[in-house]
Structure 1
């Protein structure tokens, strides 16, 4: 579809997709940093809590009776576990330094630990700092000052832990969050495109239906308009035939009106606002009337009928039979250039046979699709015939005759006829 209306629908779909994607992106932009920040804070809190447990536990092992006692520390399980720790005077009166036995793979600069212990003792507050181990890994250091029996700060317990694994874990989380946001934004764009397509589908279907209705109108009116023109030209050339041609002209005009009404009915049926006008119809009489009103030119049309009654919408049925007959006259010409068409009606079946080149087997059911045909025409005629057949519970089949030519078989459920 290249009409301006179709282009506006496409633009609307892209706008809806962009809005949906932008809304989801804003949500991800708000929540992704929040998740990253919370994870970073939780990681730091876990390390700080771990160091706090060590410093507090070691402080409870220190005794003070005239002199500080650190003898209990080597007997405690913390002595051989991680994180590592050391008890330093930190500027207070000196005492023998006691360090944990397990370095936990982190070698620290003693001067940096002494400095942090001194700051903790002088300030009387717990301190935490980030530093660097001898191997270059990042570490978190905590210093907890403790008092002697005279309520004076006598030293500090300093503990440290390698945070390289925690930093690596947090960096991986950041990478996963960013990649996940990218994937979610892409998924939001695809979902938005799909949802917007579903949202505008009724409008697109209505636009397509309008275009098909216009095409079908032009297709169905082409034959009766040509016949009407031929009748008018004949009457103009030979005024003596006017009395004979006038009833046929009136019938053709009525048929044109019926075609227009049928198209409107089909449009309303497709929209679900109207139902078929079903009634008993003598199929043989209806077919005979359509054949009589169809201009044959130099073609030969023979009709063989048997009384058969069906339940159908007369206007739509006339259209279907007219399209089958028109298709045979167009494409059923034999080698001599004259179309020879045989119409047979019996048991709810209308068979239209011609002596043309037949139907290409490769075309198959595509022959009944809109805008598809084997002869360069619009292909609407046969698609309408099949639609009428299916909407009445019938079917349309096509096959090639053994002696050449195509045979179209239009079938409707037949009603019982009283003798």
Structure 2
């Protein structure tokens, strides 16, 4: 049993720990994803801000060499044909953008036409850019057709990549912003924001989770183990007491009931109720065996005496007495057999029985018995119900002074059989005792009447097996009134 209890504790602890582990894993994954997404969005916002600042300068006609390019972060300006025309100064390597070039294809010193400080250099570069823009128009670039000169695209495009700036390599979040210029066509500005802070934050959170989650699981497992052990401790007490009861066969003992109001306390109470019912059943069986032995001893002894006398003196053999004792033994054996079947839980037959007809059949031939019956059908065993009526009529005739009255009626969903006599009745204090086995009231019954004290006990057991009741009360005339109530069909 201890191994079983330990197994219960282990299973409860393991189950709880697994559930908490799955919950923590799901929560940790959600936190990490949310953290990474938020920080990546922040990096994308920073990259977009840088790209838009450069795009605004291009839209205003700023020459490439005069652009405000962040030397600490990678920035590229490319044409529609993916030609790099401007780049941050210390960029050594880049990936994840439109081009991996890190040096402009044309000299960035030229200024666009119309630039007051640029002169001829601007015209030359403007022509080259114009040709690039014309190529883009011939290719049907979506940016060139959608934007007007001097206009910046509202929606940026994001990508992840890496770059080496001034000898330091890192991962970046790139934002690409398109801008339409007057004489250089559609240009795309790529600007990156480092993801090092985001990755550091995610790694830190992951480290905390990897350290904290096992600690949390250990605490959960330990608390669950201790609480389960404490909750199951009364079960071990119940087990020990049940083992002692089994070894001693002392059904008067009871298991300890804890002061809690949980399932274990209810189990202990139910166990004690079961022990009490078992004790009562064993005691009832013991009394039954003792009483049956006593009841059988008298007719057997009487019959043996008569037979021995008859064997020694044939002329003195009391044949009627021997037959009477034999019949008494036969009836007692039949009663004991029926009680044994009832105690074994024998279910009655499922047949329709008309109680009115059955009462008339059983009362026919009996003296001083009047019947007033209306049709009332019930479901059950015809033989057992006949036995109930016979026992009630026998009991009433033994105690009646002048008459016995039997009525059958329907009352709601019940069929009621009432057997009344005009005798001395049953004292109120004894109205439950008369249904106990082998009970004979001194003032009303004697062994000379042929009763063994089983008739009413059998009648009540059969009534209860049929889902009904059998009770006794007094009549206005002072006699006894037995009422049998059965579910009608």
Give the shorter-chain TM-score range: 0.3 to 0.5
TM-score (norm 1): 0.43
| Higher alpha-carbon Rg | 2
Question: TM-score, normalized by length of structure 2?
Answer: 0.38
